[in-house]
C-alpha cells in the first residue's frame, strides 16, 4: 500500500481494520502517530456532536416562530393599513378635486351672463324703490334693510336654468350688475373672476348666493361690502 492510498483510507475511517493498513501502521512510527491524531480528531468531533438537547427546546422554537410570525404579521398589517390610508387619501383628494372642478363657478357664469345679454339690463334707466326690490327678493327669503342707492333694473332671470334675481345698481365708478341666486351646494359661490372686460366677486349666504359684476378696473369690492351689510336672509 502506497502512502497516498494509506492516507485516503485513514481519512475515510480512522478506525479502519484493513490488514494492509494495520501492517503499514505497525511498521512505521510516523504512520502510527498519524493514525493516533486522526483517531483523536474523530473522537473530538463525535463528542462535539453529542450535545444534549434541552427538554423545552421544541416549545421555545415554536414560541419563537410564533412571535416572529406575529411580528411579521403586525408589520404587514401596518404596511397594508398605510397603503389603504394612502389610497383613501388619494381617492379623497381626487374626489374633492373632481367635485370642485365640476362646481358651477358663479363668478365666471355671471360675467358670461352679462356679456351674453349685451346692454339689455345695463342700459335700463328705471328707478326701483327699496320696497319693489324687497318684494322680488322675498322670493329668496331675503330683504335689504337700508336704501341701496339708484337701482336701474330689478327683474327675474334665467341664470344657468335657475330662476334668479338680476339687478343693476349704481356703483362708485358706474353701473354694477348684481345677481341673487338660490343657494346650491353644486355652486362655487366664494370665488372671483375676470374676463371679457368685466370682473366679478361672489359671496354665499344660507339661503342664496350673490355675485357682483362690474367693468374691469371698477371698485366692486365696495358694492359687495355694502350688499353684505344691508341684506338679511331668513333662517
Full domain range(s) for residue 39: 3-49
Classify burial at 29, counting beta carbons within 10 Å of its beta carbon; exposed 0-12, middle 13-18, buried 19 or more.
exposed
CA 43 to chain CA centroid, Å, is 69
Give Cα separations from 170 to 134, 164, 202 (angstroms): 17, 20, 18
| pLDDT band at residue 153 under the 50/70/90 scheme | very high
Higher-confidence residue of 171 and 74: namely 171
- 62-109, pLDDT tens digit by residue? 777 777 776 777 777 777 776 766 655 544 444 344 344 468 899 999
Angle, vertex CA 225, rays to CA 135 and CA 136, nearest 5: 10
- The lowest-confidence range among 48-62, 77-91, 114-128 is 77-91
Q: In this structure, what DSSP letter does residue 91 have?
A: H
- What is the total count of domains within the chain? 3
pLDDT digits (tens, 9 = 90+) for 3-32: 778 788 877 888 888 888 888 888 888 878
For 169, the 3-state DSSP assignment is strand
Mean pLDDT of 48-75: 72
Residues 93 and 191 in one domain: no
Statement to judge: residues 133 and 227 lie in one domain: yes
Same domain, 179 and 227: yes
Residues 136 and 85 in one domain: no
Closest CA to 142 of 122, 111, 117, 165: 165
**How far apart are the C-alpha atoms of 145 and 104, rounded to whole Å?**
29
Same-domain status, 92 and 203: no
Q: Indicate if the pLDDT at residue 203 is higher than 50.
A: yes
**Rounded Cα distance, 93 and 13, in Å:** 75
- Do 162 and 63 belong to one domain? no
Q: What is the pLDDT, as a whole number, of residue 89?
A: 52
Q: Are residues 87 and 119 in the same domain?
A: no
What's the pLDDT at 91?
41
Amino acid at each position: 500500500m502506497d502512502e497516498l492510498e494509506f492516507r485516503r483510507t485513514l481519512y475515510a475511517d480512522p478506525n479502519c481494520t484493513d490488514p494492509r493498513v494495520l501492517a503499514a501502521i505497525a511498521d512505521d512510527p510516523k504512520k502510527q502517530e498519524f493514525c493516533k491524531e486522526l483517531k483523536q480528531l474523530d473522537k473530538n468531533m463525535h463528542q462535539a456532536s453529542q450535545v444534549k438537547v434541552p427538554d423545552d427546546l421544541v416549545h421555545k422554537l415554536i414560541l419563537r416562530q410564533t412571535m416572529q410570525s406575529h411580528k411579521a404579521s403586525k408589520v404587514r398589517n401596518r404596511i397594508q393599513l398605510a397603503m389603504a390610508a394612502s389610497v383613501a387619501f388619494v381617492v379623497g383628494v381626487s374626489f374633492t378635486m373632481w367635485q370642485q372642478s365640476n362646481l358651477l363657478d358663479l363668478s365666471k357664469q355671471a360675467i358670461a351672463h352679462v356679456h351674453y345679454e349685451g346692454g339689455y339690463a345695463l342700459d335700463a334707466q328705471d328707478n326701483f324703490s327699496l320696497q319693489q326690490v324687497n318684494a322680488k327678493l322675498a322670493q329668496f327669503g331675503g330683504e335689504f334693510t337700508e336704501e341701496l342707492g339708484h337701482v336701474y333694473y330689478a327683474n327675474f332671470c334665467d341664470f344657468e336654468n335657475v330662476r334668479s334675481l338680476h339687478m343693476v345698481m349704481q356703483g362708485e365708478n358706474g353701473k354694477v350688475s348684481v345677481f341673487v341666486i338660490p343657494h346650491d351646494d353644486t355652486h362655487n359661490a366664494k370665488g372671483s373672476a375676470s374676463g371679457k372686460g368685466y370682473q366679478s366677486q361672489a359671496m354665499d349666504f344660507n339661503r342664496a348666493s350673490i355675485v357682483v359684476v362690474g367693468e374691469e378696473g371698477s371698485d366692486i369690492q365696495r358694492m359687495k361690502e355694502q350688499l353684505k351689510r344691508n341684506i338679511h336672509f331668513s333662517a
